[in-house]
Structure 1
Amino acid sequence: MRFSSLVHYSTLFALLVSFSICEAAAPAAGERQSTSSVSPAEHEARWFRGVRQMTSTEMGLDRAGEAYFSPDGKRICFQAYPKGQSAYQIYVMNVDGTGLKMVSTGQGATTCSFFHPSNEKMIFASNHLDQRPPKMPEEVEKAVKRVGARRYTWPFYPGMDVYEYTFATGQLRPLITGPDYDAECAYSPDGKLIVFCSSRDDNLDTYICDAEDGNNLRRITTAPGYDGGPFFSPDGKRVIYRSNRRDIDSGTMQIFTNNLEGSDERALTDHEMLHWCPFYHPSGKWVIYTRGDHSDPRHPSYDLYLVREDGSESYRVTADPAFDGLPVFSADGRYMMWTSKRGLDAPQIFMAEFIGLTPDGELRAQPVEKASEQNRE
């Protein structure tokens, strides 16, 4: 990694904190207090139903997460630890749990898979051709110890590149390459563009390029710190991403949207918590994301929240004591999929019918209370 200053090391620290969640011990039932008078199960029943665990250790997957629906809703792609291994590989599977297949090489580390709108191919990031290990700076090591974060982290491998995989042929083609970290990638709705995160300009920023060959690269963000985890809006006119620019050293993040030229940035969240993994509802009217609350360091909580695309209204979706994160919707808005540790020792993928919004984005749930997106006074 080419991080030239402590500011960039602090950027890495913020991500170390955010990705420590899957190893953090979930609070025991009753330890996380709620302001609501209803139980977690009653709360969640307002938003989704028919929860189904999609992956498990019985499938030879020690842990799994960050799953996405295919545009036709028939398959999912995700990353998982193969049994006995400690690096993610990329898999695809039918939504009924059949047809599990590893599509990455099984070498090195991988992350961030995403289907092409045609359903014929996908992209993901891998370092199988350049497995240089990341090195944690001394300052970051001290900071991690200070906050007591577990050592489950997503390191920024400098050899990580974006590859295209074609289902019919099994061909793996390098698409976005270079000596730096290139990952966290997604297609535009028409399949013509790719948005991704890269450290190529000595910072971690969001970029857009042509999906066919990686050309016509343009940088969307320039603020110091990390701007990553990007996705396109359903109409393809904006991108959404997470950023730690407002408090680089604290480990908090906020969610921003921007146009494709990077000239119209807007903040959707603005308070001292961790906001990450934003994903648009197909209506374009709402964004679902993960909020991390570290107000009680002994029992940090991670839940899914909905916020209107203009940041004006927000609701809590999950209330289970276990970790819930990395939420996505199916293309028709009928289903939600996310990563959770509900009753498990390691995270796996869950899916449910989402009933809190209509397909066109009208609020159907009867929430107990709104959730603030502003700092508390």
Structure 2
Amino acid sequence: MEAKHLANIRQVTFGFFRAGEGYFSADGKRIVFQAVPNLPEAVFLEPKPNQYEYQIFTSELNPGARPKLISTGEGACTCAFFSSDGASLIFGSTHLNPTPSAPRSAAYGRSGSRYRWSFPEGMDIFRSDLDGKNLKRLTESNGYDAEGSFSPDGKQIVFTSFRDGDGEIYVMDADGKNPRRITHAKGYDGGPFFSPDGKRIIYRSDRKGDDLLQIYINNVEGSDERALTANDAVNWGPFWHPDSKHIVYSTSRHGHSNYEVYLMNVDTNAEERLTFHDGFDGLPVFSPDGKQMMWTSNARGTDRNSQLFIADFTLDPAPAAASNP
């Protein structure tokens, strides 16, 4: 059934303890992603600080290409994203405070599940050249600033921050100046992305505080919010198709150990399941031309560790009628 929209599925990352959350460059020729390098078995017997933390890597999309470490190797890193002109990238990092004294207790997770991501104190958004040089700190508020991505024109960054005590969506200039808050409701809002036409923002939210997440859409001013999902599942990781009408996202509606990827028309709420494979398929993204979809899966490799996969993608036949979640 995956062949309806996906073809030529192939693994992209190898040799990592785990890897995921990858994004394409503007020209579609390279990717940036987070990964934990493989370590000798003896090292795991004597854990060292940060050895299990994600770092940021880039790689050309060529057979045999070798990933390049972009982050400092210190602290925890997450949510990297290429600038619109392809000359730089941003990512969240705690490398200035790699071992915070405060416990890293703040996190999102569903009761009874192993799936969980933390909001560590000291996480800030940084911008660097494509080789990791000229690293510049863009946020300096207390707490967690991460989950950032650029606007299509490269002039703004949308991101998540706990600076006001709750996980909210903010937009700031690309140099980190003039941050403004977009969401104003209780509960975590995160993982935001501008639509390719620059008119709307998509994100996930835990508004009800029920260990579930729903997908929301809004305008860039934050004045036209609308929920796209309203079910008893965890729905997250939404990402835009280049047509600014469709998104992909992952959901636990088939079981919390079996996340699957769905395609949705945000104007009609019509949706269709894209992946049909036991295990985790999530964090889907499209290439800039919409001809490829990349996502994170722990179900398709040989070692059951999360790695990145890419498939050729065809939008048509797209979903025509709304379905019942």
Q: Same fold (TM over 0.5)?
A: yes
Contact 1:278–1:289 (Cα < 8 Å) also in 2: yes
SS in 2 for 1:270: coil
SS in 2 for 1:78: strand
- Determine whether 1:48 maps to 2:6: yes
Structure 2 match to 1:10: none
Distance 2:38 2:156 in 1: 35
Aligned residue type for 2:265: R
SS in 1 for 2:116: coil
Q: 111, 116, 124: which is aligned to 2:83?
A: 116
- Aligned 1:1-377 pairs, distance under 5 A: 43-57=1-15, 61-84=16-39, 85-97=51-63, 98-131=65-98, 132=100, 134-136=103-105, 147-150=111-114, 153-167=116-130, 170-211=133-174, 213-245=175-207, 247-248=208-209, 250-293=210-253, 300-341=257-298, 342-343=300-301, 344-355=303-314, 357=315, 363-364=316-317, 372-374=323-325
Aligned residue type for 2:188: Y
Contact 2:33–2:80 (Cα < 8 Å) also in 1: yes
Alpha-carbon RMSD: 2.1
Query: 1:189-228 deviations in whole A, cap 9, x for unaligned?
Result: 00000000000000000000000x2111110001100000
Structure 1 match to 2:47: none
Distance 1:263 1:354 in 2: 33
Query: 1:251-278 deviations in whole A, cap 9, x for unaligned?
Result: 1111111111111101111211111000
1:169 deviation in Å? Answer: 7.5
Distance 2:176 2:86 in 1: 20
SS in 1 for 2:212: coil
Distance 2:72 2:284 in 1: 26
1:293 deviation in Å? Answer: 2.4
* Greater helix fraction, Structure 1 or Structure 2: 1
What runs of 5+ residues in structure 2 fail to find an aligned partner? 40-50
Distance 1:168 1:158 in 2: 26
Aligned residue type for 1:78: F
Aligned residue type for 1:259: N
What runs of 5+ residues in structure 1 fail to find an aligned partner? 1-42, 358-362
Distance 1:373 1:286 in 2: 17
Distance 2:146 2:190 in 1: 9
* Greater strand fraction, Structure 1 or Structure 2: 2
Distance 2:66 2:36 in 1: 17
Using the size of structure 1 for normalisation, the TM-score is 0.78
Contact 1:240–1:256 (Cα < 8 Å) also in 2: yes
How many equivalent residue pairs?
Answer: 309
Contact 1:311–1:373 (Cα < 8 Å) also in 2: no
Structure 1 match to 2:48: none
Distance 1:203 1:276 in 2: 18
1:371 deviation in Å? Answer: 7.0
Q: Residues 168, 62 of structure 1: CA spacing in aligned structure 2 closer, same or farther, 3 A cutoff?
A: closer
Distance 2:229 2:253 in 1: 14
1:312 deviation in Å? Answer: 2.4
Distance 1:371 1:134 in 2: 44
Query: 1:68-102 deviations in whole A, cap 9, x for unaligned?
Result: 00010110000000222300000000011514100
SS in 2 for 1:293: coil
Contact 2:82–2:90 (Cα < 8 Å) also in 1: yes
1:135 deviation in Å? Answer: 3.5
1:162 deviation in Å? Answer: 0.4
Contact 1:69–1:330 (Cα < 8 Å) also in 2: yes
Aligned residue type for 1:62: F
Distance 1:235 1:158 in 2: 34
1:175 deviation in Å? Answer: 1.0
Distance 2:238 2:308 in 1: 17
Aligned residue type for 2:189: D
SS in 2 for 1:45: helix
Contact 2:269–2:322 (Cα < 8 Å) also in 1: no
Structure 2 match to 1:32: none
